[in-house]
Amino acid sequence: MYPRLEIDINKLKHNASVLSKKCKEKGIETAVVTKVYCAFPEVVKYLKDSGIKYIADSRIKNLKKLRDINISKILIRIPMITEVEEVVKYADISLNSEFEVIKKLDEKARILNEKHKIALMVDLGDLREGYFKEEELFKVVEKVLKLKNIELIGLGTNLTCYGAVIPSKENLGRLCSLAKEIENKFNIKLSFISGGNSSSLHLLDKGEMPEKVTNLRLGEAIALGRETAFGEVIEGTYQDVFKLVCEIIELKEKPSIPIGEIGVDAFGNKPYYEDRGIRKRAIVGIGKQDINVDGVIPMDTKIDILGASSDHLILDVTDSDKEYKVGDKIEFNLEYGGLMAASTSEYVAKVFKYGDEKELAYNV
């Protein structure tokens, strides 16, 4: 069934092993972030034995799907008050930045007879979640330490998301000195210092990762084999774990400029067309309703994407070395946004490849 998202489990597992080894050499435990592929349990259960310590996801719904997989789980989006019960049930650790929510987590944990672990988020300047003011952070630590069913295990930060701020030894150093200050002031030990996501990896190579950092939360680096501060490929990893495969539904030679008066396209935009004469155009059966067409790259580098409407993706295949026919399949590499949309789309079938011809189709 097409379009389909093919997931090579062995390649993903390999990437997880490479990254967790790289982190371990610097005394850092890895949390694999599974949100970009919806934490498909068919995938995640195979990641357990790749040296990683935690599974992390932004959605409690995803962690709930993984409840039978025996590994520590972290909820990485700060919880909603309305989901605290599920957070205590399905996450071992949650990242937090609001005392009101933490108090509710404590109440639920008491009812469920659990001890819920939290890390407090610190905003180092990226201006998404976390405590921005130090005094506020120290005050909340004092209050959290009085809660009986909450265990404060450390601090975390997130960078290069909203503000695109690149992790450095200075900003992560500040996270570590805050942790030290808290340890001294309150006479506690903070064992979990989570120094960010795939954009922090460059500090490992440069030997600039502050020593106190004990955890990284890695999504894109493991899924796509790239660090995200500079977009560099990570040595020894695969970039083609995920592949989108679509089918050609029309193949015809047509002019490159539409005929007639040009108004606006299906999305209200006024398009521009370059006259390249008569070209061979392939339409594949996928469109803006199915995926994020800006996040897909044809693996045949001689194919150009001309555009897309809700249900159609139009390709120029004139220069390709391959003689395509109707019914042929066209493969695409995926960028982060393309992978996210293909994963969540109910119109894209998921095919899990385990390497030994045993394939499992999902959602078909």
Ligand X SMILES: *Cc1c(COP(=O)(O)O)cnc(C)c1O
Nearest to 354 by CA among 1, 123, 9: 9
Kindly state the smallest distance separating residue 128's Cβ from ligand X, in Å.
8
Q: What letter represents residue 115's amino acid? A: K
154: left (phi over 0), alpha (psi -120 to 50) or beta: left
Identify the residue among 34, 158, 292, 320 touching ligand X (CB under 6 A): 158
Kindly state the smallest distance separating residue 35's Cβ from ligand X, in Å.
6
Identify the residue among 218, 241, 296, 340 touching ligand X (CB under 6 A): 218
34 near ligand X, rule: CB under 6 A: no
User: Cβ neighbours of residue 301 under 8 Å, at least 6 residues apart?
Assistant: none
Q: 17 or 198, CB closer to ligand X?
A: 198
219 near ligand X, rule: CB under 6 A: yes
State how far the alpha carbon of 130 is from the alpha carbons of 19, 26, 110, 188, 311, in Å: 26, 25, 25, 21, 40
Compute the chain's Rg from CA coordinates: 23
Kindly state the smallest distance separating residue 198's Cβ from ligand X, in Å.
3
209 near ligand X, rule: CB under 6 A: no
30 near ligand X, rule: CB under 6 A: no
Q: Which two tokens stand for residue 200?
A: 């922090």
The size of the interface with ligand X (CB under 6 A), counted in residues, is 13
- Residue 35 is among the residues annotated as catalytic for this protein: yes
Kindly state the smallest distance separating residue 144's Cβ from ligand X, in Å.
19
345 near ligand X, rule: CB under 6 A: no
76 near ligand X, rule: CB under 6 A: yes
Give the alpha-carbon dihedral of 87, 92, 97, 101, to 10 degrees. 40
Contacts with ligand X by CB under 6 A lie at 33, 35, 58, 76, 158, 197-198, 217-221, 228
